[in-house]
Amino acid sequence: MKNRKFFKWSIWLLAALFYFYEFILRVSPSVMVNELMQSFNITASGVGVLAAFYLYSYAPMQLPVGVLMDHFGIKKVLSWASIICGCGAIIFAFSNQYSYAAIGRFLIGVGSSFAFIAIVYVSTNWFSEKKSGFLIGIANSLAMFGAFAGTGPLSNLVQTFGYKKVIAFFGFVGLIIGFLVFFIFKLDTKEEKKDVSHHREKLLKNIILVGSNKYIWINGIVALLLYVTTTAFGGLWGQSFIEKAYNVSKDVSGYAVSMIFFGWLFGGPIVGFLSDMINDRKKTIRVAFVLTILFLVPVIYFPHFHIYIVYFLLFLVGFFSSAELLCFSVAIKLANNNAKATAAAFTNFLISCGDALVQPLVGFLLDLNWKGTLLDGIRNYSVLDYQKAITVLPAALILGFILIFFLKENNSLNKN
């Protein structure tokens, strides 16, 4: 009994650690934009595409990960996911060619795609129902700490040791997590593998069912339009913009964008609680769009604030952007009883697809507005260049606010 309890908590801790770890790798390109341009002799468009290679694998993997988890079991899936993630980071770190670095980011996305499902799987299958929700929430908070660590603190490490050494170190961390899972976690072989044929048939049927529901599409697009500010600004372009616009160091700008993820950490539970209080998901999401725009626009177009004011504004951007999580509740309510999990996975798939498009789009717009100046051999983008390119983010928020009005009116959306 004691051994089982030890292994149960050990695997949860390792799954939570992997979730924390993959978020560091997910947002890491944001603190090394100039270094990547210099290392691979690429433009902002190239950096955007390179960062998005993570999403090119992560997005499509959202649909089959549950089936793979059921078939192979948590031990094999989590250990191999960690090892694949670590190998991808090592390939990225030691790459001297753009194509190899892209392969590395692609592999990181493959491994990372299992992180959230792994923590849900362990929390719900190995712990009581009373504990599972709390444990998933704690793990999500750790993931946000990972995003926080992958911006400000990681920027310090990159400035001190260089991005190659830092990412290589995290690559070996991934290998260690994978081997720890493999050797520590012991399951009965009967639990380890299941018949997957009926899961595969059910998955295809549910995908068709969910994909034919236009309101699930609208809800998913609303979610991605609210979330892209977090990934495109907080996860890639925000640091270099703030460094240029506010004339601060990379470390300071890194900590500024990390406030977005800090805002998510607090906003997730508080916004969810407020939504329950007013008993209206749509109204909460609508207000969140308005407030996110209200606090993001001054940071982008009026770069004259003290940096601590910027910290506070970006914290509020993250806080209210966390209302994106409510879209998963809406998706589940819109789906049929036998396709609720698929609806949530499909929503996450749409969000990831949106991220994969918007991150390189901002880079493309930067290159489109570039005036031809160079600094240390790489393209030097002005504050105005950044402002024009990042305009896509407020535009996305406005579009999302409008789309909310086309979402199906349903009293069930206002209940948990």
Other C-beta atoms closer than 10 Å to the C-beta of 306 total 9
With vertex at residue 84, the alpha carbon angle to CA 201 and CA 255, rounded to the nearest 5 degrees, is 110
CATH numbers and ranges of domains, the chain: 1-194 (1.20.1250.20), 197-416 (1.20.1250.20)
Check residue 195 and give its pLDDT.
Answer: 54
The two tokens of residue 248 are 């601060």
Question: Cα–Cα distance between 134 and 294 in angstroms, integer?
Answer: 32
pLDDT digit string (tens) for 2-57? 566 777 788 889 999 999 999 999 999 989 999 999 999 999 999 999 999 999 99
**Residue 189: its pLDDT value, please?**
41
* Dihedral, CA of residue 212, residue 220, residue 59 and residue 272, to nearest 10: -140
pLDDT score, position 188: 41
- Which residue, 342, 327, 336, is CA-closest to 403? 327
Show the beta-strand stretches assigned E in 189-335.
none
- pLDDT-flagged residues of the chain (< 50): 188-192, 411-412, 415-416
Q: What pLDDT is recorded for position 198?
A: 61
Using only the alpha carbons of the chain, give its radius of gyration: 21
pLDDT for the residue numbered 344: 79
Question: What's the pLDDT at 409?
Answer: 54
Distance CA 268, CA 271 (A): 6
- Evaluated on CA atoms 288, 290, 293, 294, the torsion sign reads negative
Identity of the amino acid at 267: G
* The model's pTM: 0.87
Please list, in sequence order, all residues whose beta carbon lies within 8 angstroms of the beta carbon of residue 180, skipping any fewer than 6 positions away: 14
Half-sphere exposure (Cβ direction) of 170: Cα atoms closer than 13 Å = 29
What is the tally of helices (H) and strands (E) in the chain? 21, 2
The C-alpha atoms of residue 54 and residue 104 are separated, in whole angstroms, by: 8
Assigned token pair, 193: 């593998």
- Report residue 161 as tokens: 């040791």
Contact assessment for residue 259 and residue 315, using Cβ atoms and an 8 Å cutoff: yes
Q: What is the model's pLDDT at position 186?
A: 58
